[in-house]
């Protein structure tokens, strides 16, 4: 069977994003994504979704011409072509949440964007879901965690789009709403926003309201080591895991020795190069995988094998994403036996999407794994055109939570650790 | 596309084996293999080749009935069914060359036997070589190393089948013969047979005769730590790597600290469970993968990812095998970017095979990777019947190099380390 890529389309889109607060600032009114279409002839299409900021887009476009004629089954050749097109220079990453930029990170992220589309193409070509290309689904539905954010009611100058959440009670209200609508069986609070004792109070309020829900807290390294140990000690027996309380492998190792719960990360272990030192120092106990920056779905399977081998827990990280990425995350999570924690997702916060509705849905907090070929999702071309138009007019070209916050709060430093 | 396993056939075969000497004794006149056929309907067949000793056969047969109805794309389900059928008890392994038996090893080996056949089935179902199921071939031909053995001219009571090789000069003659016939670009001597200084002399004689061939020496843990350090020091600058000089992670680490060349292993790191301690202690620098006991082709890809991540070299081990396994080894090696050493193979020592000839051949020491569907090889049914008949009459039912040597040399202990 011959399959060759004949056309590559990369379409940046902007989707409305609420004013979600995090350790460095606040989400801008629009979040950017790139929709990738790989055609193998007129009727065979593989989809992917990637970062849509300017540097990421430029890299995708630099690689795209090299993909014409590629066999989508040959992802090793895809990797070679991507590496050749990108060269060796470290370049901007779409978020500093995954550590300093490096050439290997930009290669991994750019390759991943196309690899997912190649696996979608493979699955469509052979009539198999992507999970079958990864060894087969070990679960019929993938559990996700309800992602709670401190937030404003609306962006300055825009209409309010939801209730403000800045207190423990309002976080509980937000959780009740998400659980009611999606059925989430576990909850994660994006922390590092309010003073630590307020966030401890929020977690305790969640525990009181949801006695049986596993709970997570993620301050995105906005705490010093002593603050991290204080919070971890206070929340002993309450948190399923504490995520990236402080920066760096050494700091994380120090916290890990002092607190009773596992430490999870998507910030100090974000590449394969980070793993040896993290394992040697016992800095983390749970890795939050993310195929977008770990080099795609097959590399994520290798990461899972490493976690299994070194007795590390495995969960899944999420940045703002749409339905194509949700499908990829679901197919991947379905095929990893040792992905035993509910995955993160930003999906409840995005009201716009580029896929035809109905395929991906939440049932009791889990997404049933599509069993149709490939990722299982289809582009909604009207939505794609509309969200691309929104991209053209929205003015946002790279994510800048710090700069946006400074435009509202001029004294904002965004320098971590704040607490 | 629906594919379901409808029939499982397991056929033990015996092939003539020369009197090759190793650290525990000598190869018996017949070596055992199991040929596995997985049918998905009458016209779709997946092949594999596995250990053919009684305990391995019994395990394969115990699992076989559970495979009816299995989707060969669902190797995770294959793993569950295999684990369920086998239970938790540690059981005999076909060779003590891969360390003490354990439940996880017997599960990995039994699963691997069927997994390879499932991948052959997958490839045949979709019209793709197995290398494409593993990410794509990164090389068109896989280099193998010429495997040199001390040997007798013939088995007692059998006709001689080759020149005796017990001296440095005769090992060089054997190497010249293998290089002339196969074009091998690197050479490995199975050591631990003659006194160490004789083996040092043999390696030096090989270096003189083959100035540019990478050379390896593998005494299968038949040396003490001081002997290992003595040999490693004497052969500084001569060996590409020294393989399993001594037993255990601690001993290997002590040798590794004292000798200049990398240490390779297929004896002290034979399961994923062995890796953390081996890495922590820096016991080995090169892992010799073997899909037969590492849990199949996909698990071998994960092993390769671990080696890449932890800066370990990766080579490939071989036990006595036939063409189906050679095809599997070739497809796997083709798809692993960081398998940078020539692989081991026993193929020159087997004059009988179960596959139709012509597909697999050595060109300049390398096997061109089949690009036809699946593994790319076809059963020779006449040969299968003949070698099964030979199995029925040969009397060998499990490999016992020690016992066979004792039947010839009653004082033989087979206890390592001998030197």
How near does any CA of chain B get to the CA of A299, in Å?
A: 8
* Chain A CB contacts of B298 below 8 Å: 135
Inter-chain CB proximity A136 and B299 less than 8 Å: no
Is there a common fold for A7-130+380-393 and A132-368?
A: no
Interface test with A, best of B134, B276, B305, B312 (most A CBs within 10 A): B305
Q: Within 13 Å and on the Cβ side, how many CA atoms surround B144?
A: 29
Distance of alpha carbon A329 from alpha carbon A292, whole angstroms:
9
Selection from A188, A183, A240, A241 nearest residue A367 by Cα = A183
Give residues with Cβ within 8 angstroms of B147, minimum separation 6: B178, B188, B190, B318, B344, B345, B346, B348, B349
Residue A90's pLDDT is 67
Residue B49 · residue B325 · CB < 8 Å: yes
Q: What is the DSSP letter of A369?
A: P
Are B276 and A311 inside 8 Å of each other by CB?
yes
Question: Which tokens go with A318?
Answer: 């999420």
Query: What does the CA dihedral A90, A92, A93, A95 come to, rounded to 10 degrees?
Result: 140
Q: Report the candidate in B257, B281, A342 with the shortest Cα–Cα distance to residue B268.
A: B281
| Nearest residue in chain B measured CA to CA from A334 | B76
DSSP-derived secondary structure for B109-145: HHHHHHHHHHHHHHHHHHT-BHHHHTT--S-SEEEEE
Q: How many CA atoms lie within 13 A of B120 on its CB side?
A: 31
Helix axes B225-234, B196-209, angle to 10 degrees: 20
A232, B108, B340, B407 from B133: Cα distances, Å:
44, 20, 20, 46
* Chain B CB contacts of A1 below 8 Å: 126-128
The string of pLDDT tens digits covering residues B316-368 is 999 999 999 999 999 999 999 999 899 999 999 999 999 999 999 999 999 99
Asked whether the bond before A417 is cis by omega within 30 degrees of 0, the reply is yes
Nearest to B321 by CA among B113, B91, B65: B113
* Nearest CB partner across the interface for A309, out of B75, B77, B275: B275
Q: Do B76 and A311 touch (CB under 8 A)?
A: no
- Residue spans per domain, chain A: 7-130+380-393, 132-368
**Residue A323 DSSP class:** H
CB contact (8 A) between residue B310 and residue A1: no
- Which residues of chain A neighbour B76 with C-beta distances below 8 Å? 135-138, 335, 337
For every residue of B294-314, DSSP letters joined together read HTHHHHHHHHHHHHHHTT-EE
Following DSSP, what letter does each residue of A192-219 receive, concatenated? SSS-HHHHHHHHHHHHHH-TTS-EEEE-
Q: Do the beta carbons of residue B111 and residue B160 sit within 8 Å?
A: no
Residues of B in contact with A135 (CB under 8 A): 74-76, 298
pLDDT tens digits along A127-159: 999 999 999 999 999 999 999 999 999 999 999
**Among chain B residues, CA nearest to A310:** B276
Which helix H or strand E contains A25, and what residues bound it? strand A25-26
Q: What is the predicted pLDDT for the residue at B97?
A: 72
* Three-state secondary-structure class, residue A103: helix
Gap from A35 CA to chain B (nearest CA, Å)? 23
Catalytic residues of A: 190, 317
Q: Which of A74, A126, A279 sits opposite B1 (nearest CB)?
A: A126
- Under an 8 A CB cutoff, do B311 and A276 touch? yes
Contacts of residue A302 in chain B, CB cutoff 8 Å?
301-302, 305-306
Testing the interface with B: which of A81, A116, A127, A135 to mutate, by most B Cβ within 10 A? A135
Q: Cβ contacts (< 8 Å) between B77 and chain A: which residues?
A: 136, 138
Catalytic residue among B79, B155, B291, B317: B317
Burial of B73 (0-12, 13-18, 19+ CB in 10 A): buried
CB contact under 8 A, A75 and B298: no
B11-36: b (≥16 Cβ within 10 Å) or e: bbbbbbbbbbbbbbbbbbbbbbbbbb
| Mean of pLDDT over chain A | 96
- Identify whether the C-beta of residue B144 lies closer than 8 Å to the C-beta of residue B345: yes
Q: Per the omega criterion (within 30 degrees of 0), is the bond before B417 cis? A: yes
The alpha carbon of residue A135 is apart from the nearest alpha carbon of chain B, in Å, by 5
| Model confidence pTM above 0.95 | yes
Contact B306 A305 (CB under 8 A): yes
Q: Which residue from A125, A298, A305 is facing B135, i.e. has the nearest CB?
A: A298
- The whole-number pLDDT of residue B293 equals 96
- C-alpha A419/C-alpha B336 separation (Å) is 46
The whole-number pLDDT of residue B98 equals 75
Q: What integer pLDDT is reported at residue B100 of this predicted model? A: 80
Instruction: Please provide the size of chain B in residues.
Output: 419
Best of B4, B73, B312 to substitute, by most chain A Cβ atoms within 10 angstroms, is B73
Rounded Cα gap, residues A47 and A36, in angstroms: 6
Interface test with B, best of A78, A302, A336, A371 (most B CBs within 10 A): A302
Residue A19 clears pLDDT 90, i.e. is over it: yes
**Which value does ipTM take for this structure?**
0.97
H helix or E strand, kind and range, residue A26: strand A25-26
Instruction: Please indicate whether, in this complex, the C-beta atoms of B279 and A275 are within 8 angstroms of each other.
Output: no
Place A1 in a pLDDT band, splitting at 50, 70 and 90.
confident
- Our CA-based measurement puts residue B129 at a distance from the nearest CA of chain A, in whole angstroms, of 10
- Which residues from chain B sit within 8 angstroms of residue A273, using beta carbons? 309
d(CA B42, CA B45): 8
For residue B99, what pLDDT is reported? 76
Q: What is the DSSP string of B340-397?
A: -SPEE--GGG----SB-TTSS--BTTEEEPP-SSBT---B-HHHHHHHHHHHHHH---
Averaged pLDDT for residues A326-332: 98
Q: Taking the domain B7-130+380-393, which CATH number applies?
A: 3.30.390.10
* pLDDT, tens digit, 9 for 90 and up, residues B240-278: 999 999 999 999 999 999 999 999 999 999 999 999 999
Q: Which residues of chain B have a Cβ shorter than 8 Å from any chain A Cβ?
A: 1, 71, 73-77, 125-128, 132-133, 135-138, 272-273, 275-276, 279-280, 298-299, 301-303, 305-306, 308-311, 335, 337
Exposed / middle / buried, residue B255 (Cβ in 10 Å: 0-12, 13-18, 19+): buried
DSSP of B62-82, one letter per residue?
HHGGGGTT--TT-HHHHHHHH
Contact A396, A94 (CB under 8 A): no
A18: helix, coil or strand? Answer: coil
* A254's tokens: 């120090």
Chain B residues whose beta carbon lies within 8 Å of the beta carbon of residue A75: 135-136
Q: Which of B76, B133, B308 sits opposite A337 (nearest CB)?
A: B76
DSSP label at A242? E
- Helix, strand, coil percentages in chain B from 3-state DSSP, rounded to 5: 40, 20, 40
The residues of A whose Cβ lies within 8 A of any Cβ of B are 1, 71, 73-77, 125-128, 132-133, 135-138, 272-273, 275-276, 279-280, 298-299, 301-303, 305-306, 308-311, 335, 337
Point out the catalytic residue in the list B105, B190, B291, B292: B190
Regions of chain B with pLDDT less than 50: none
Closest CB to A75: pick one of B125, B135, B308. B135
Residues of B in contact with A108 (CB under 8 A): none
Q: How far apart are CA A290 and CA A328, in angstroms?
A: 10
CATH fold of A132-368: TIM Barrel (3.20.20)
Distance from B46 to chain A by nearest Cα, in Å?
17
């Amino acid at each position: 069977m011959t399959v060759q890529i004949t056309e590559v389309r990369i379409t940046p889109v902007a989707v409305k994003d609420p004013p979600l607060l995090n350790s460095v600032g606040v989400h801008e009114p629009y979040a950017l994504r790139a929709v990738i279409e790989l055609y193998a002839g007129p009727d065979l299409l593989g989809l992917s979704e990637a970062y849509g900021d300017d540097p990421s887009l430029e890299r995708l476009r630099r690689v795209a011409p090299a993909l014409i004629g590629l066999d989508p089954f040959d992802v090793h050749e895809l990797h070679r072509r991507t590496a050749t097109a990108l060269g060796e220079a470290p370049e901007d990453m779409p978020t500093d949440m995954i550590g300093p930029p490096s050439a290997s990170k930009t290669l991994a992220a750019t390759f991943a964007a196309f690899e997912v589309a190649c696996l979608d193409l493979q699955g469509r070509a052979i009539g198999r879901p992507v999970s079958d290309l990864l060894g087969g689904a070990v679960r019929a539905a993938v559990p996700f965690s309800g992602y709670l954010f401190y937030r404003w009611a609306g962006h300055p100058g825009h209409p309010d789009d939801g209730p403000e959440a800045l207190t423990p009670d309002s976080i509980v209200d937000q959780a009740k709403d998400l659980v009611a609508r999606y059925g989430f069986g576990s909850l994660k609070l994006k922390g590092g926003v309010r003073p630590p004792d307020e966030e401890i109070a929020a977690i305790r309020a969640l525990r009181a309201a949801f006695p049986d829900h596993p709970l997570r807290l993620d301050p995105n390294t906005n705490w010093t080591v002593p603050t991290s140990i204080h919070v971890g000690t206070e929340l002993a027996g309450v948190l399923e895991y504490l995520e990236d309380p402080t920066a760096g492998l050494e700091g994380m190792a120090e916290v890990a020795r002092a607190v009773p719960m596992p430490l999870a990360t998507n910030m100090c272990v974000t590449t394969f190069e980070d793993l040896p030192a993290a394992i040697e120092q016992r800095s983390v106990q749970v890795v939050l995988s993310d195929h977008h920056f770990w080099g795609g779905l097959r590399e994520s399977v290798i990461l899972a094998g490493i976690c299994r081998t070194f007795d590390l827990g495995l969960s899944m990280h999420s940045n703002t994403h749409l339905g194509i990425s949700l499908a990829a995350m679901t197919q991947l999570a379905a095929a990893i036996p040792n992905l035993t924690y509910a995955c993160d997702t930003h999906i409840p916060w995005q009201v716009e999407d580029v896929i035809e509705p109905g395929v991906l849905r939440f049932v009791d907090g889990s997404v049933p794994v599509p069993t149709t070929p490939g990722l299982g999702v289809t582009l909604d071309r009207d939505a794609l055109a509309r969200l691309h138009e929104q991209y053209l007019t929205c003015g946002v070209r790279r994510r800048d939570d710090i700069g946006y916050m400074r435009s509202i709060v001029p004294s904002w430093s965004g320098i971590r650790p704040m607490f």
